[in-house]
Structure 1
Amino acid sequence: MFDVFTGPMLELFATSLWETIVMVGISGLIGAAVGVPLGVYLHLTDTGGVLENRPANRIVGAIVNAVRSTPFIILLVAIIPLTRLLTGSSIGTAAAVVPLSIAAAPFVARLVETSLREVDRGLVEAAQAMGATTRQIVWKVLLPEALPGIVAGVTISFVSLTGYSAMAGAIGGGGLGDLGIRYGYQRFLPEVMLAVVIVLILFVQALQSGGDWLVRRLSHK
């Protein structure tokens, strides 16, 4: 049954795994770089926030919700013109990073906003009473206190992106998803599909374990 796993196939597995790591890593970092400030902004402008601005909060929140509620497979197809403009192609690992990043940012933003809401309101009020600026409140109170929750949220985002990256294989996005579809499904090699699923499970387990370890370290501090 497993005669299919020859040298070239194992090489293909290694290449596909690397493509998945690149896709998830780059899009996760971009999503966090955009999503964390966005989540902070949503928290600050929310009702009772330091920079309360309900109209702005609702507009930004509506955009975030719109992107989050769009099924990823539809998002993949809908932004093909943008993907082609930015990367010069609509297929391949680089092209898949664009929709993955767009999908990750609002997801991270909402998780960050939720983590910031858990920060004791008294700490913020105490900082304001001492004359702290908004920047100081964000960097010295909100982010340090919410950091374990933010890291946990980013970890969840990376895990979700792993599933999305496999879905991107449906339109030639590369990675393990593409390998599973081309060989496991189209060429009727169930052993390849099984191997892809096992590798993805191990990859997600490694991501989650690493994130949990970091959260525990930050919580102890």
Structure 2
Amino acid sequence: MDKTEARLTLAVDVMGSDQGPKEIIEGVAQAVEFSPRGTEFVLYGRQEVVEPILEDQPMLTNARVSISHAPEVVGMEEKPIAGIKGKKNSSMSLALLALKNGEADALLSCGNTGCLMAGGAIRLRTLEGVERPALCTIWPGRERYFTLLDAGANPHAKPFHILQSAVLGSNYARLALGLVRPKVGLLTIGTEEGKGNDVIHETHEMLKDIDGSIINYAGLIEGFQIFENVVDVVVCD
């Protein structure tokens, strides 16, 4: 990996994990080893918990890693809005605030997904015209990586939500995968017109009508096609 100088600050929600902060911090230690020299890691969590773990990781006792004390923790069982608004001093909330204020360039959290999605929408806001955030995943294809979304943030998505996911996925593929005009495919049970449920039908028509400079829509795709790199962005309900 290229380790040339780069200025990047990563906010890490250390307390948000099923396995506890130790696993997260061990992951940070590996990231420090392979990341560019200019990358800094700010660990958000309870100082009295984080410091003893850092002592067992000599690689992290340098200026590139610091602790930002967060006395509260968002539990996995908490409801999205209550978890964020009710715990403003949690590791997740303070890391989101750092991202909003420009103190961090990116945020890593393995915590409560619902709270993270709600916190992102509340603290950071969505792109203009996008109503809900989506979970975007990167998958390995036969020749190159592709993105798939929404991967679980909106269990009852409507057609315009899937359309918005196509916009988000296209922008992400341009920035993260370096694709100039990423192809977008709508996942369904068959590529013939009329296949799928009413949500898929309506979404398909909306995607066909949208300006090609915004979304390069390639049409319907089936599950077996997604790993063949037929498209670069897969959207699904």
Specify the TM-score bucket, using the shorter chain as the normaliser. under 0.3
Relative contact order (alpha carbons < 8 A, sep ≥ 6): 1 or 2 greater? 1
Larger strand share, 1 or 2? 2
If the length of structure 2 is used for normalisation, what is the TM-score?
A: 0.22
Higher helix share: 1
